């Protein structure tokens, strides 16, 4: 099972975490410690009831910069709101980041959920699942090296093609992997139809909520005629050593920053067949990264 972590993206992730020098330092620290992947989430701002207004750095810029200062770790988005960028442009961006990173990108996609940021930046929030379906019909074949002509309700492209195409290493010949975060029936069927990996989040230890979501995914795979063994299951975990800051996803089921506890949780997720976990550390600093690195080593040593 691969183990990755979310990069810090604003000061809610730790003191001074909003600076690029701090992000770069922690990214290199995680890679040197043996973690398998680094991830960013995609928001412009947070306007949540009862909380101060907050925001984070732009995801794609930060991930591309991280690609240039790392060598081995995979680089993922958890997940890009597809309503923020035209689909053919996003495919072109993915091809370029794959070039910068030598084929290390995992393109995580989702519909987005926080309406205030859509209104603030001038993006439509309606028909998100329908728009997402059209987006996949453009992005997936483009990343497969195909030419695409598509005229839909919300998107139009005419003979689009990625030149130069995204380079991929032998482990995934010919295609950039797409990960989709989904839980509703329609979104899960799109996941079964188009994705290489599925993400469920946020969790600590396995629980009934995860089992229900995975059962829904299996039903979607059956409906789409997809072998579920061909779809990697990934899970977002939270390790919280203090109260989460404004704008952070709920940490109700978070794991404590304890090496043995985290290692046992990793063992439990791997036993369920999970192929990759993305860990949201609170805060993100050398100490919490060290906890995750140590838990990874203990988890691996435990078989």
Q: How confident is the model at residue 174 (pLDDT cuts 50, 70, 90)?
A: low
CA of residue 100 relative to chain centroid, distance: 19
- Greatest alpha-carbon span in the chain: 54
> How far is 84 from 92, CA to CA, in rounded Å?
14
Q: How confident is the model at residue 300 (pLDDT cuts 50, 70, 90)?
A: low
Residue 247 has pLDDT above 50, yes or no: no
Q: How confident is the model at residue 246 (pLDDT cuts 50, 70, 90)?
A: very low
> How far is 270 from 156, CA to CA, in rounded Å?
41
Half-sphere CA count of 190, side-chain side, radius 13 A: 25
> How far is 254 from 249, CA to CA, in rounded Å?
11
- Best CA proximity match to 235, nearest among 70, 108, 129, 140: 108
**Domain definitions of the chain by residue range:** 2-301
The per-residue pLDDT for 165 is: 83
Tell me the CA distances in angstroms from 183 to 2, 19, 129, 220, one per residue in order. Answer: 22, 34, 12, 10
Q: Provide the mean pLDDT of the chain.
A: 92
Residue 243 has pLDDT above 80, yes or no: no
> How far is 163 from 178, CA to CA, in rounded Å?
19
Q: What is the mean pLDDT of residues 42-71?
A: 95
Concatenating the DSSP letter of every residue in 279-290 gives: EEEES-SHHHHH
Q: What is the mean pLDDT of residues 169-186?
A: 80
Q: What is the mean pLDDT of residues 61-77?
A: 98
Tell me the CA distances in angstroms from 108 to 34, 130, 167, 182, one per residue in order. Answer: 22, 18, 18, 11
Among the ranges given (50-54, 221-225, 247-251), the one the predictor scored with the smallest mean pLDDT:
247-251
- Please give the CATH superfamily to which domain 2-301 belongs: Luciferase-like domain (3.20.20.30)
Q: What is the mean pLDDT of residues 286-301?
A: 90
């Amino acid at each position: 099972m691969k183990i990755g972590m979310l990069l810090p993206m604003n000061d809610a992730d730790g003191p001074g975490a909003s600076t690029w020098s701090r992000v770069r330092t922690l990214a290199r620290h995680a890679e040197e410690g043996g973690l398998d992947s680094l991830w960013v989430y995609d928001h412009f701002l947070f306007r949540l009831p009862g909380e101060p207004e907050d925001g984070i750095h732009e995801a794609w810029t930060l991930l591309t910069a991280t690609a240039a200062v790392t060598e081995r770790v995979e680089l993922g988005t958890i997940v890009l709101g597809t309503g923020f960028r035209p689909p053919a442009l996003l495919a072109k961006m993915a091809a370029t980041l794959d070039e910068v990173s030598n084929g290390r990108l995992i393109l995580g996609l989702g519909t987005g959920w926080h309406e205030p940021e859509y209104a603030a930046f001038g993006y439509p929030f309606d028909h998100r699942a329908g728009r997402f379906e059209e987006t996949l019909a453009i992005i997936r074949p483009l990343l497969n090296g195909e030419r695409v002509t598509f005229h839909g309700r919300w998107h139009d492209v005419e003979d689009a093609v990625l030149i130069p195409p995204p380079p991929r290493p032998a482990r995934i010949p010919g295609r950039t992997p797409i990960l989709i975060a989904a839980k509703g029936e329609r979104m899960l069927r799109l996941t079964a139809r188009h994705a290489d990996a599925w993400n469920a989040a946020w969790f600590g230890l396995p629980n009934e909520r995860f089992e229900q979501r995975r059962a829904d995914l299996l039903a979607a795979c059956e409906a789409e005629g997809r072998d579920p063994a061909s779809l990697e299951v990934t899970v977002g975990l939270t390790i919280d050593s203090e109260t989460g800051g404004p704008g952070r996803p709920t940490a109700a089921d978070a794991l404590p920053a304890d090496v043995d506890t985290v290692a046992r949780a990793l063992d439990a997720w791997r036993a369920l067949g999970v192929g990759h976990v993305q860990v949201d550390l609170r805060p993100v600093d050398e100490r919490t990264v060290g906890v995750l690195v140590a838990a990874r080593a203990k988890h691996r040593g435990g078989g």
